[in-house]
Amino acid sequence: MRLLNKDGWYVYRNEGKYTIHLRHPIKLGVITITGDHSGKLGDLSIRNILDLAGL
């Protein structure tokens, strides 16, 4: 999450306790992160999120 924030992504919308939507001021699209936000995501999930973010 810190890496996404440093790149300019910000929380656009929260849906309940388990879903966060991130948006970037220049890059197109929205990244959706689901889970209990304990900070533990699988390697594949992290790779997919970074790929969507263009990092």
Whole-number pLDDT of residue 23 = 92
| Angstrom distances, CA of residue 6 to CA of 9, 19, 28, 30, 46 | 7, 20, 17, 16, 16
The pTM (predicted TM-score) of the whole model is: 0.73
Note the pLDDT tens digit of each residue in 4-51. 889 999 998 988 778 889 999 999 989 888 876 666 777 778 888 888
Whole-number pLDDT of residue 37 = 61
Whole-number pLDDT of residue 25 = 93
What are the domain boundaries of the chain? 2-53
Domain range 2-53, CATH architecture: 2-Layer Sandwich (3.30)
Whole-number pLDDT of residue 24 = 93
Q: Is the dihedral of CA 13, 2, 28, 25 positive or negative?
A: positive
Whole-number pLDDT of residue 39 = 65
